[in-house]
Amino acid sequence: MSHKTVKQWALFVFSAVLISSAAIAQTKPNVVILATGGTIAGAGADVTNSATYQAAKVPVDKLIAGIPQLGSVANVRGEQVFQIASESFTNANLLTLGKRVAALARQDDVDGIVITHGTDTTEETAYFLNLVVHTDKPIVVVASMRPGTAMSADGMLNLYSAVTVAGSKDARGRGVMVVMNDEIDSGRDVTKAVNNKVEAFRSPWGPLGFVVEGKNYWFRRLDKRHTVNSEFDIEKINALPLVEIAYAGGNVDDVAYRAFAKAGAKAIIHAGPGNGSVSGALVPVLQELRGKGIQIIRSSHVNAGGFVLRNAEQPDDKYDWIVAHDLNPQKARILATVALTATSDTKELQRIFMEY
């Protein structure tokens, strides 16, 4: 074989490899990872530090580089949107993130989106995106309970699972999801129920499904309105009104409620015991605030799930109050901030709380 022939053959083989590699890349989904910080990007001083560490230290490119297996399931690229601990998330952060997610979802070369996040407010961000981003493409919020430097760190597997879910065709149309500890939960339902275990997130109505070794197993769908079926659109929202949560228990007084009203709150979530119960001493206070135009929304701080029934415990129709249905106080705050950008009519707001 001549030198020229060998060279031609080598060029042919090299071209075939390039074409084959390109074909494989085209068959894999394109997933964008938006990083916001949190424990999943945290680092501790020692491998034994699973609860004592600094959050939001590792940039997204290092998170991706640390899991080379991601390349076998998706074409992955990352963007650093924020680098903060999630307890510091503000309404402005939500708007910035929501608009970026929506912009990516409109791109033909994006099949799914993953958001890395701190666990403290994962449920709030996931629910916000579930309300305002119009797409049927999978949007997955992922977090971890232990920093990557700890023994038995959970972030690596959580992120791998999140990418596989975000790139799955069978995950389309299910709303915004939270993937952690092998579970696929609805961003609408899920809540952080434990603060020091990897099985920290729970949904009172159960997970949507599970992901095991990159394969999804589905068991239910979210029946509430979300994403493509939502009447709210992040592209039309540039500011969110102030909504605050007042926690009520035994011996509660009116200090927090009046302070929130004075600060300009458009609505107050009453996080009451049981069925969103309101103490006798608070009833006239909440009536007074409602008379000043502030929306009063009865929620429950019961952790295991349940309903706040309208006109049970309190005559909501008479007082022109709203009930949060099965939403916990923090999710009720998110829905109220979004809903109040569209209406201040109590009946309309109650409809929204029942539908979303």
Residues with active-site annotation? 39
310 by DSSP, 3-state: which? coil
User: Can you name the residues that pair with 33 across neighbouring β-strands?
Assistant: 78, 114
- What's 35's DSSP letter? E
The pairing of strands 30-37 and 75-84 is parallel
- What's 173's DSSP letter? T
Max intra-chain CA distance, the chain: 99
Q: Are 178 and 166 in contact (CB under 8 A)?
A: no
Using a 10 angstrom Cβ sphere, with 0-12 exposed, 13-18 middle and 19 or more buried, the burial of residue 108 is exposed
Query: What does the buried/exposed string (b/e) look like for 230-251 if buried means 16 or more CB atoms within 10 Å of the residue's CB?
Result: bebebeebeebbebbbbebeee
Q: d(Cα 179, Cα 161) in Å, to the nearest integer?
A: 7
What does the block give as tokens for 105?
Answer: 């979802």
Q: d(Cα 139, Cα 151) in Å, to the nearest integer?
A: 29
What HEC string does 52-117 produce? CCECCCCCHHHHHHCCHHHHHCCEEEEEEEEEECHHHCCHHHHHHHHHHHHHHHCCCCCCEEEEEC
Q: Give the count of alpha carbons within 13 A of 204, CB side only.
A: 12
The runs of H, that is alpha helices, within the chain are 3-27, 60-65, 91-105, 122-132, 155-166, 255-262, 283-291, 316-319, 329-339, 346-355
CB contact set of 355 (below 8 Å; sequence gap of 6+): 224, 225
